[in-house]
């Protein structure tokens, strides 16, 4: 079951090879593999979200998979999303891949923010899919987004957007 799940969360990385440099794809796959090998077996009672809840442990909320699925229930499947994060570690990779898995069939791209406020687009949804939602992981969204944002714990905020800014503007906090 874990191997099947691992294959499913790596699927977005395979999709991204058409839009990203192979070097980034291999780096992302290596981080996912390392995180999966380090993740201890879940001590939870079980259930259909036992594995994804374990991978989403970084969000520090109970039942994170169900909370995310409730958010996705309000998002049309044709809307694309971008995951914006300041993390660049194995745990961040697991969070991104788990969100992509739970959000399927929505396309979820990724922007990595550097410590200097720079932004690097790692994966981008196809051009015909409009980006209408942003996930902010370990980074505060712009203040004007607060009234319409949804939070999952203290580390993840989801915001609907009608107009995108330059990626680095989301990273310079």
Pick 143 or 6 by higher pLDDT. Answer: 143
Pick 3 or 46 by higher pLDDT. Answer: 46
Determine the structural domain holding residue 16 and report its residue range. 2-171
Query: How far from 156 is each of 59, 126, 140, CA to CA, in Å?
Result: 7, 24, 9
Does 47 score more than 90 pLDDT? no
**What is the structure's pLDDT at 93?**
92
User: How does DSSP classify residue 61?
Assistant: S
User: How many structural domains comprise the chain?
Assistant: 1
Instruction: Name the pLDDT band for 40 (thresholds 50, 70, 90).
Output: low
- Across the chain, what does the average pLDDT equal? 82
Q: pLDDT tens digits for 119-164?
A: 888 888 888 888 999 999 999 898 888 888 999 988 999 999 988 8
* Predicted model pTM: 0.73
Pick 24 or 61 by higher pLDDT. Answer: 61
Interaxial angle between packed helices 90-103 and 2-16, expressed in degrees from 0 to 180 and rounded to the nearest 10: 90
* Spatial separation of the C-alpha atoms in residues 28 and 7, rounded to whole Å: 13
Tell me the two tokens of residue 53.
Answer: 């809840």
């Amino acid at each position: 079951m874990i191997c099947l799940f691992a294959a499913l969360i790596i699927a977005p990385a395979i999709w991204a090879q058409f839009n990203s440099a192979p070097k980034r794809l291999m780096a992302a796959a290596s981080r996912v593999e390392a995180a999966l090998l380090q993740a201890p077996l879940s001590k939870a009672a079980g259930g259909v979200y036992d594995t994804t809840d374990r991978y989403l442990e970084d969000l520090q909320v109970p039942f994170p998979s169900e909370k995310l699925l409730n958010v996705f229930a309000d998002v049309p499947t044709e809307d694309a999303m971008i995951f914006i994060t300041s993390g660049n570690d194995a745990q961040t990779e697991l969070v991104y891949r788990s969100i992509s898995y739970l959000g399927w069939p929505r396309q979820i791209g990724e922007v990595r923010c550097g410590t200097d406020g720079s932004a690097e687009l790692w994966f981008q949804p196809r051009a015909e899919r409009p980006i209408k939602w942003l996930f902010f992981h370990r980074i505060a969204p712009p203040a004007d987004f607060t009234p319409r944002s949804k939070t999952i714990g203290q580390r993840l905020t989801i915001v609907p957007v009608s107009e995108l800014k330059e990626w680095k503007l989301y990273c310079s906090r």
